[in-house]
Chains A and B, each alone.
Chain A
């Protein structure tokens, strides 16, 4: 009973090979953003069907999490969505804190630092998304500009945590270290530096006629389809619904912060096309800058660093949650980062952990979006979904 589906799949490929053309895109194709293999059944330039093959980057996150303590798993969560590590570990840490019942005791300064680094990381992640999207479509310069600006964020996060990509900075009940002296000032400097650069990027890419011609009205994702496929983050918001877990769940310091939720409006074509998804990311960068400004202001005034402040003070010595199940969701750079915990109440090791990567669900819509499009448009669609294969495969 188990191999029937595989036989059917093989039969389909064999039939297609004699009637149409079967084309493999990936796993080493540059525009698949990693090791994703799309098996395309094509009729000339038209894609009849795209069958995604995943798993090339599967690193057994869930199996590891079942063998390690909650604290030891944090570095593994960083490696899921390696472009927005802070957001992943933030979700994991909040989940464990809620199970322990200490989520209300976390000092305000720590919450604000967490939000600050998360938003910095979100900008860095979106910059990669925008830059590589430009490259997919044939614009090379925005890529270099985005990487130039992202480098500032990487430098700052390295200063705070000691590494450039995989930080292990947010810990259960606290932080690895307090922010280095002068970090807030440098953040403020970065915001002043980056605001005009974002405008330049808009002039170069967002309003570029060639770019609009390639992305507007391409890969239109209707809202009901997006919801049914479990899309989240910019992909869902691009289809025109204000669904941002930072506002819905009001976790961490977000209820005290003022920011808008950008959604796709169909300015250049239809609501939910590739351009809308791209534009949501651009607008989110501007909103994240607003959040950073507010965080920096508070961290410099009423939440100022004091000599006796210990970011590890609230860290529990032994992390043994009561026997319970808990699903934690938080807004990562790509959408809903979810962790389902099953704690048995006896050990420091979770009984079962399931990671819900936003890219995994966002990518599943590709077979729906790719029906009857040109191969070149498929690249534009895939780029606009902005997947990270580390998180798809976990």
Chain B
């Protein structure tokens, strides 16, 4: 199924406001989805007989930099029956305060793959996923401060009173 057909399918199902943009003419085209609708869009793409995107290959959290002031998540889906691939992107403009994290809906109910990937994204980038059952840090210790993959992250000088050289 081509990207335009998938787009039409989503528009006919959810209305035109669900797709906020499209990256076409590049090696891997992507659909930009309205962040609040991503879970239902993915559920539809997974269960629809014409698409069957049943496999979440990769989930990437992105910090677009201090100037852009934007956070996003990229989903790389694959369909095992049809052997096709699809990239979905969501993003919101948000501040960098560690007390107020950018929030997206969780995909755990649709793809269990998202469980650990979302935990990793939360751990390294400080992106919160609403509805995730167990959003703890996964790679870093539970008492780690800050989110290391953010572009403005400063490495700490001390860890539990030990100087880091």
Contact = CB atoms under 8 A, between A and B. Distances in A.
B57 interface: yes
A263 B101 CA distance: 44
Interface string B75-102: 0100010010101000000000000010
B45 interface: no
A356 B140 CA distance: 17
B27 A364 contact: no
B74 A340 contact: yes
B33 interface: no
A63 B149 contact: yes
Contacts of A368: 112
A5 interface: yes
Contacts of A33: none
Given A327-B76, A364-B115, A230 B55 contact: yes
A229 interface: yes
Interface in B120-145: 124, 128, 132-142
B56 interface: yes
A338 interface: yes
B111 A241 contact: no
A5 B136 contact: yes
Contacts of B27: 98-99, 324, 326
A325 interface: yes
A205 B149 CA distance: 45
Contacts of B128: 1-2
Interface stretch (A52-60, A116-124, A182-190, A280-288): A52-60
Contacts, number: 97
B41 to A, nearest CB: 17
A356 B30 contact: no
B154 interface: no
Interface string A337-352: 0101010000000001
A43 B139 CA distance: 28
A361 B116 contact: yes
How big is the A interface, by class? 35 or more
A257 interface: no
B3 interface: no
B135 A230 contact: no
B80 A325 contact: no
Interface in A1-16: 1-2, 5-6, 8-9
A92 to B, nearest CB: 14
A325 B80 CA distance: 22
Contacts of A361: 113, 116
Interface in A99-129: 99
A197 to B, nearest CB: 34
SS class, residues of chain B in contact with chain A:
loop
B111 A228 contact: yes
B138 A2 contact: no
Given A230-B57, A352-B62, A356-B58, A324 B113 contact: no
Contacts of B1: none
Nearest to B100: A1
B54 A6 contact: no
Contacts of B148: 60, 63
Given A229-B112, A364-B113, A364-B115, A327 B136 contact: no
Contacts of B87: 325, 327
Given A6-B136, A55-B138, A243-B80, A352 B112 contact: no
Interface in A60-107: 60, 62-63, 66, 98-99
22 contacts: A5-B132, A6-B136, A6-B142, A55-B138, A58-B140, A62-B149, A228-B111, A228-B112, A230-B57, A230-B112, A248-B83, A324-B28, A325-B23, A325-B26, A325-B87, A329-B57, A340-B74, A340-B76, A342-B62, A356-B57, A365-B112, A394-B139
CB-based closest 10 A-B pairs: A230-B113, A354-B60, A55-B139, A356-B58, A58-B139, A229-B112, A5-B135, A327-B76, A364-B116, A5-B136
Given A5-B133, A243-B80, 14 more contacts: A5-B132, A5-B134, A5-B136, A55-B138, A55-B139, A55-B140, A63-B149, A225-B112, A227-B80, A230-B55, A325-B23, A340-B60, A352-B63, A361-B116
